[in-house]
A and B are shown apart, each in its own frame.
Chain A
Amino acid sequence: MALMTAFFAVIQRDLILAFRRRTEIANPVFFFILVVTLFPLGIGADLKLLQAIAPGIIWVSALLAVMLSLDSLFRSDFDDGSLEQMLLSPHPLTVLVFAKIVAHWLVTGLPLLLIAPLLAVFLGLPEQALGTLLITLVLATPVLSLIGSIGVSLTIGLRRGGMILSLLVLPLYIPVLIFASNAVEMAGNGLAVEPQINILIAIFFMSMVLAPLPAAAAVKMSIT
């Protein structure tokens, strides 16, 4: 199918691009590691305290790392005219934008997923919470990319959109932050986390269906 071909071609292209600009892609991961390691240095090696705030630290750092990487989602395509060409494709822009979001998650969300359990152990997060941490990351990092795509597509037309982007996007990240870090905390205390996970699943599917549409519309608007 032509549409599927286009969808995977966009993902493949963005992955090749990410590979050719390795340093840019590695930055959010290093940022994530650095911010997480700053906390024990700042508040001392009090294991009880660290354990208590570990879910929050990991999640806030993940949020900020994803937000830092959002600008790369459309920036270069906007600057070199690739977005204009996508607009003239017979395929719906929503699908192409969704492909770009998937590629963005693969290069920013996925590495966080791999590195987060390690950092959780550093912070002394109880072992029984590690599984839940991974589940929340799997469910919620795509949501960060999806919601972020709306904000970034609204601001690509602005030369210095960085600050306004965080003002637009961070408030929308709050529900994800609340349920995800709460789930990890509960799991650490050995409590049931099904409700939080269910809500995260709902947010995941909702943003998957609802985010690409306004993002594509905003891309169109930014080009004109």
Chain B
Amino acid sequence: MELTQKKVLEVKNLSCIRDDRVLFKGLNFCLRNGQVLLLEGKNGSGKTSLLRIICGFRMQDEGELRWCNTALKDSEYFAQIAYVGHLDGVKKELTVIENLKMSLALSQAGRYSITQALKKVKLAGYDNSLVQTLSAGQKRRLSLARLLMTKKSLWVLDEPFTSIDKEGIKLIESLMHEHIAQDGMIILTSHHDLNLVEKDLQKINLSTWH
């Protein structure tokens, strides 16, 4: 997969207000190919809200987002996003394979096939188990497998390390390295100390943007 086309996500003067409380105000940043943005901040500082604004699930109260110098409205942008949020977005009555096939039907095929992606996240052998029989960490791994098998250049990860074991954290970090090396972009929130030594790592602490 090649993502050689230069892409850039610009955020200008963004504000988010929730129930009369200003979560952040005047937020600016710019994310290019091969860059990681780590959002930090206290609980309730608006990390998830910012991610949901970036995914288009929520409207910003002020400011604008631009993708490659055009406003976000065009659907091309949203097709570029892979979102892993608090909700896993998998159906518990379906098997692992059925879930992944569904995700594949909803987007373009990416670098890995379903079997390869499952092997990569250490879920091989669970192909035909119902998702409701998986543990919380395994469900997380499943939603990460979705990232690998669809062709998306911007990964938006909301606390990707929740309920994942130590070995899994290493795995996710290596997957993120790989995605960045392929010129992908990542925006994530995490309370874990990230083991990313990228030169292209930006950090934003939302608690300081009132």
Q: Which residues of A contact B (CB under 8 A)?
A: 2, 5-6, 9-10, 13, 16-17, 20-21, 76, 79-82, 84-92, 96, 223-224
Q: Which residues of B contact A (CB under 8 A)?
A: 52, 55-59, 75-76, 78-79, 81-83, 85-94, 98, 101-103, 105-108
Q: Top 6 nearest A-B pairs by Cβ distance?
A: A81-B87, A90-B79, A9-B105, A81-B89, A89-B106, A20-B93
Please give 14 more A-B residue pairs, beta carbons under 8 A apart, in addition to A6-B106, A84-B87, A85-B83: A9-B106, A13-B94, A17-B91, A80-B91, A80-B92, A81-B88, A81-B89, A82-B90, A84-B89, A87-B56, A88-B81, A90-B75, A91-B106, A224-B52
Of the candidates A13, A17, A80, the one whose C-beta lies within 8 Å of that of B87 is A80
A98 to B182 Cα, complex, angstroms: 36
Q: List 12 A-B contacts (CB under 8 A).
A: A5-B105, A9-B101, A76-B91, A81-B88, A82-B90, A87-B55, A88-B83, A89-B79, A90-B75, A90-B79, A90-B108, A223-B57
Q: What are the residues of chain A within 8 A of B55 when measuring CB–CB?
A: 84, 87-88
Q: Are B89 and A80 in contact (CB under 8 A)?
A: yes
Docked CA distance A88–B89 (Å) = 12
Q: Are A17 and B94 in contact (CB under 8 A)?
A: yes
Q: Which residues of A contact B87 (CB under 8 A)?
A: 79-81, 84
How near does chain B come to A84, taking the closest CB pair, in angstroms? 6
Q: Kindly list chain A residues whose C-beta atoms are within 8 Å of the C-beta of B98.
A: 13, 16
Q: Do A16 and B94 touch (CB < 8 A)?
A: yes
- Given the complex of chains A and B, what is the CA–CA distance between A96 and B56 in angstroms? 18
A99 nearest CB across to chain B (Å): 11
Contacts of B82 in A (CB 8 A): 88
Contact A17 B102 (CB under 8 A): no
Q: Which of B57, B90, B103, B105 contacts A224 (CB 8 A)?
A: B57
